[in-house]
A and B are shown apart, each in its own frame.
Chain A
Amino acid sequence: MLKDTTSKAVLFGGLALIALAFFAPNWIVNQFMFGFSRALAILGLLVLWRTGLVSFGHAFYFGLGAYTVAVLDIQLGVTDVFLRLIGGCVIAGFAGFLLGFILRNYRDIFFAMLNTAVSMVLYGIIVKTEALGSTDGFAISLPTIFGVAPETKYPLFVVITLIAMTSAILVNFYLKTTVGQLTTAIRDNEIRVEYLGFSVARAIHLKYTLSAVLAGGAGALMAMSLGQVDPDSMINWTVSGELVFVTILSGPGNVIAPFIGSLVFEVLRTYAFELAPQAWQLIVGATFLTIIFFLPGGIWSLIAKLGRKNS
Chain B
Amino acid sequence: METFLTILLDGLQFSSYLFIVSAGLTIIFGVMKILNVCHGSFYAWGAYTAAFFISKFSEMGMPDIFGFGIIIIAAIVVGVVLGFVIEQGILKHMYHRDEVLIVLATFGLFLVLEDVILIAFGTDPYFAYQPMALLSSVEMGGIVRDVYGLSLIGMATMVAVGCWFLLNKTKWGVILKAVIFDREMGISMGINVPFVYTLTFIGGAILGGLGGAYIAPTISVAPGLGTEVIVLSFAVVVVGGMGSIAGAAIGSVIIGVLRALAVHELPQVELFVVFAVMAIVLVFRPEGLFAPAKPRKI
Please give me the residue from chain B that is nearest to A105 by CB atom: B286
Q: Do the beta carbons of A112 and B100 come within 8 Å of each other?
A: yes
Chain B contacts with A in 234-289, Cβ cutoff 8 A = 234-235, 238, 267-276, 278-279, 282-283, 286
Known pairs A109-B35, A128-B269, A128-B270; A292 contacts B116 (CB<8 A):
no
| Cα–Cα distance between A190 and B101 once the two chains are bound (Å) | 20
Q: Do the beta carbons of A120 and B271 come within 8 Å of each other?
A: yes
Q: Do the beta carbons of A56 and B108 come within 8 Å of each other?
A: no
Q: Do the beta carbons of B111 and A285 come within 8 Å of each other?
A: yes
Q: Do the beta carbons of A123 and B115 come within 8 Å of each other?
A: no
Please give me the residue from chain B that is nearest to A289 by CB atom: B108
Q: Do the beta carbons of B270 and A124 come within 8 Å of each other?
A: yes
A288 at the interface (CB under 8 A from B): yes
Q: Do the beta carbons of B282 and A120 come within 8 Å of each other?
A: no
Q: Which of chain A's residues have a CB closer than 8 A to the CB of B279?
A: 114, 117-118, 121
| Cα–Cα distance between A121 and B108 once the two chains are bound (Å) | 24
Q: Which of chain B's residues have a CB closer than 8 A to the CB of A54?
A: 100, 103-104
From A88-96, A163-171, A238-246, the one touching the partner chain is A238-246
Q: Do the beta carbons of B100 and A109 come within 8 Å of each other?
A: yes
Known pairs A117-B278, A278-B118; A123 contacts B271 (CB<8 A):
yes
B201 at the interface (CB under 8 A from A): no
Q: Do the beta carbons of B271 and A127 come within 8 Å of each other?
A: yes
A248 at the interface (CB under 8 A from B): yes
Q: Do the beta carbons of B276 and A280 come within 8 Å of each other?
A: no
Q: Do the beta carbons of B115 and A108 come within 8 Å of each other?
A: no
Known pairs A124-B274, A282-B112, A289-B105; A114 contacts B282 (CB<8 A):
yes
Q: How far is the CB of B218 from chain A (nearest CB, A)?
A: 22
Interface residues on B, range: 35 or more
Query: What total of chain A residues lie within 8 Å of the partner, measured CB to CB?
Result: 40
A233 at the interface (CB under 8 A from B): no
Q: Which of chain B's residues have a CB closer than 8 A to the CB of A26?
A: none
Q: Which of chain A's residues have a CB closer than 8 A to the CB of B267?
A: 128
| Cα–Cα distance between A236 and B226 once the two chains are bound (Å) | 13
| Cα–Cα distance between A138 and B283 once the two chains are bound (Å) | 33
| Cα–Cα distance between A109 and B111 once the two chains are bound (Å) | 20
Please give me the residue from chain B that is nearest to A110 by CB atom: B286
Please give me the residue from chain A that is nearest to B266 by CB atom: A128
Chain A contacts with B in 111-145, Cβ cutoff 8 A = 112-114, 116-118, 120-121, 123-125, 127-129
Q: Which of chain B's residues have a CB closer than 8 A to the CB of A23?
A: none
B114 at the interface (CB under 8 A from A): yes
A293 at the interface (CB under 8 A from B): yes
Q: Which of chain B's residues have a CB closer than 8 A to the CB of A286?
A: 108, 112
| Cα–Cα distance between A282 and B93 once the two chains are bound (Å) | 21
A281 at the interface (CB under 8 A from B): yes
A284 at the interface (CB under 8 A from B): yes
| Cα–Cα distance between A117 and B281 once the two chains are bound (Å) | 10
| Residue from A106, A117, A286 whose CB has the most chain B CB atoms within 10 Å | A117
Chain B contacts with A in 98-134, Cβ cutoff 8 A = 99-101, 103-105, 107-116, 118-119, 123
B174 at the interface (CB under 8 A from A): no
A303 at the interface (CB under 8 A from B): no
A61 at the interface (CB under 8 A from B): no
A102 at the interface (CB under 8 A from B): yes
A34 at the interface (CB under 8 A from B): no
Q: How far is the CB of A188 from chain B (nearest CB, A)?
A: 13
| Cα–Cα distance between A289 and B113 once the two chains are bound (Å) | 13
- When each residue 252-265 of chain A gets 1 if its CB lies under 8 Å from chain B and 0 otherwise, what string results? 00000000000000
Known pairs A106-B286, A110-B282, A280-B115; A120 contacts B231 (CB<8 A):
yes
A19 at the interface (CB under 8 A from B): no
B81 at the interface (CB under 8 A from A): no
A279 at the interface (CB under 8 A from B): yes
Q: Do the beta carbons of A56 and B103 come within 8 Å of each other?
A: yes
Please give me the residue from chain B that is nearest to A272 by CB atom: B115
Q: How far is the CB of B71 from chain A (nearest CB, A)?
A: 27
Known pairs A117-B279, A121-B276, A124-B275; A236 contacts B111 (CB<8 A):
no
Q: Which of chain A's residues have a CB closer than 8 A to the CB of B103?
A: 54, 56, 109, 112
Q: Do the beta carbons of B272 and A124 come within 8 Å of each other?
A: yes
Q: How far is the CB of B269 from chain A (nearest CB, A)?
A: 7
| Cα–Cα distance between A110 and B278 once the two chains are bound (Å) | 12
A237 at the interface (CB under 8 A from B): yes
Give the A-binding residues of B (Cβ under 8 A). Answer: 35, 37, 90, 93-94, 99-101, 103-105, 107-116, 118-119, 123, 227, 231, 234-235, 238, 267-276, 278-279, 282-283, 286
Give the B-binding residues of A (Cβ under 8 A). Answer: 54, 56, 102, 106, 108-110, 112-114, 116-118, 120-121, 123-125, 127-129, 236-238, 241, 244-245, 248, 278-282, 284-286, 288-289, 292-293
16 pairs from A and B in contact (CB 8 Å cutoff):
A110-B282, A112-B100, A114-B286, A117-B282, A120-B271, A120-B278, A124-B272, A128-B272, A129-B268, A237-B231, A281-B112, A285-B108, A285-B111, A288-B107, A289-B90, A292-B108
Contacts beyond the supplied A110-B286, A118-B279: 7 A-B pairs with Cβ under 8 Å: A125-B272, A128-B270, A238-B227, A279-B115, A285-B110, A285-B115, A288-B104
